[in-house]
Amino acid sequence: MTEKIKHFPGEKLSQKQIDEGEVTTVKHSPNVKYAWSCGEAMSRFLNEMKKGKLIGRKCNKCGRILFPPRMFCEECFRPTNEWVYLKDTGKIMTFSKSYLDTNAKRIKEPILVGVIAIEGASENMGFMHYFGEMDPDEIKIGMRVKAVWKDEKEREGAVTDIKYFRPLKEGE
Amino acid sequence: MAMLEKTTDVRALRHWEGDMEADYIYTTGIAGDKFFKEIKENAKITGTKCKKCEIVYVPPRMYCERCFENLEQWVDVSDKGIVHTYTICNMDLDGSKMDKPVIMAVIKLDGMHGGIIHKLGEVNPENVKIGMRVQAIFKNKKERVGSILDIKYFKPVK
């Protein structure tokens, strides 16, 4: 509502009125299937994930290691040069505690998500993932974490082949 | 150079498949509700009239699109009219060839302004003419659900 408009015309409908056909409606379920090609860099990245490895791509001009890998350096405007394996450890750059699940339902135990700076990749290369095996209160920016992988048999070449990132234990 | 070291094995390339849920229910509104219920219950086509512009809107609107006046006068429109323009469809929604063509037409009912889009039936494509008089054929009352498809098609009349 605005200052001028105090009341919109029309009437509020209940779910019942719609379900029972008290008011006329148009229902439709569009077919929205799609296939998205991952391209060269992302395909290799996903294939390496299946093997339990993280891979980046290096640009020999600026020396940066791009992660997730890209075939083109967006700063030098030139193709990147070589594949570089990275560790599966990193630092939390930013995080969020979500009290809503993926269906926007309220939950008691928050889902921890955030961006991880993978060790060995250049600055500002973020990798978004879940966090686990930690108390929601203990999570903080700069915390060192390590990937927890699914069993080799369960891995399918997807980002979710890493279950979550857990805190790095002392001495690791 | 990296650009030339392209993957030549297509099996090494990957893709993601998705299926987005985009179901929706859209209510027909105050004017639309009355329009569809009139079709369902009485097999009648109704519209709203703007007294100022002397225009009859079918399907009915709540407001005049020309002068923004509130439209409160409801009028029954004839179920007969003329073919304003038409097209013969030989392909279905997927682009496959159909055995029998479907004739889609803009029909200007007697008493309305503009036209409504519907199918023509009981006529061969070669006999359809612009200006031809047609009449709405409704489904049986039991089969009517309150949709524009409660009209099966329009057939030619003399």
Per-residue confidence (pLDDT) for residue B56, from 0 to 100: 96
What span, in angstroms and rounded, lies between the C-alpha atoms of B83 and B71? 27
Per-residue confidence (pLDDT) for residue A81, from 0 to 100: 93
Q: Cα torsion for A45, A51, A54, A55, to the nearest 10°?
A: -50
Strand partners, A27: B25
Q: Which of A25, A26, A43 sits opposite B13 (nearest CB)?
A: A43
Q: Which of A50-64, A89-103, B10-24, B69-83 has the lowest mean pLDDT?
A: B10-24
Question: What is chain A's mean pLDDT, rounded?
Answer: 92
Q: Which of B1, B14, B25 sits opposite A38 (nearest CB)?
A: B14
Would residue A63 be called left, alpha or beta, if left means φ above 0 and alpha means ψ between -120 and 50 degrees?
Answer: left
Mean pLDDT within B112-141:
95
Residue A102 lies in a domain: yes
* Closest residue of chain B to A40, computed from CA coordinates: B13
Q: Is the pTM of this model over 0.80?
A: no
DSSP, collapsed to helix, strand or coil, labels residue A44 as: helix
What are the tens digits of pLDDT across the range A9-28? 777 889 999 888 889 999 99
DSSP 8-state class, residue B68 = -
Percent of chain B with pLDDT over 90: 83
Alpha carbon B150 to chain centroid, angstroms: 11
Hey, what amino acid is at A54? L
**Structural domain count of chain A:** 1
Residue A25 lies in a domain: no
* Closest residue of chain A to B145, computed from CA coordinates: A24
Mean pLDDT within A98-115:
94
Q: Please name the residues between 11 and 50 in chain B that touch chain A, using a CB distance below 8 Å.
A: 12-30, 32-33, 36-37, 40
What span, in angstroms and rounded, lies between the C-alpha atoms of A92 and A90? 7
Q: How far is B132 from chain A (nearest CA, A)?
A: 31
Q: Do A29 and B22 touch (CB under 8 A)?
A: yes
Residue A99 lies in a domain: yes
Q: Do A46 and B14 touch (CB under 8 A)?
A: yes
Structure tokens at A120: 């060995």
Q: Is the pLDDT of residue B47 over 50?
A: yes
Per-residue confidence (pLDDT) for residue B1, from 0 to 100: 46
Task: Confirm or reject contact between B70 and chain A (CB < 8 A).
Answer: no
* Closest residue of chain A to B23, computed from CA coordinates: A29
Range of the domain at A60: 39-167
Q: Is the pLDDT of residue B27 over 60?
A: yes
What span, in angstroms and rounded, lies between the C-alpha atoms of B85 and B130? 6
Q: How far is A157 from chain B (nearest CA, A)?
A: 9
Question: How distant, in Å, are the alpha carbons of A50, A87, A159 from that of A71?
Answer: 20, 20, 19
Q: Please name the residues between 85 and 144 in chain B that touch chain A, using a CB distance below 8 Å.
A: none
Q: Is the reported ipTM for this assembly greater than 0.90?
A: no
* Closest residue of chain B to A35, computed from CA coordinates: B17
Nearest to A13 by CA among A26, A29, A25, A28: A25
Taken in order of first residue, the domains within chain B and their CATH numbers are: 28-156 (2.40.50.140)
Residue A18 lies in a domain: no
Hey, what amino acid is at B30? I
Structure tokens at A54: 């993280």
> What's the pLDDT band for A124 if we cut at 50, 70, 90?
confident
Question: How distant, in Å, are the alpha carbons of A75, A85, A152 from that of A167?
Answer: 33, 21, 22
DSSP structure string for A60-127: TTT--EESS--SEETTTTEE--EEEEE-SEEEEEEEEEEEE-TTS-EEEEEEEEEEEEETTSPTT-EE
Q: Is the pLDDT of residue B134 over 70?
A: yes
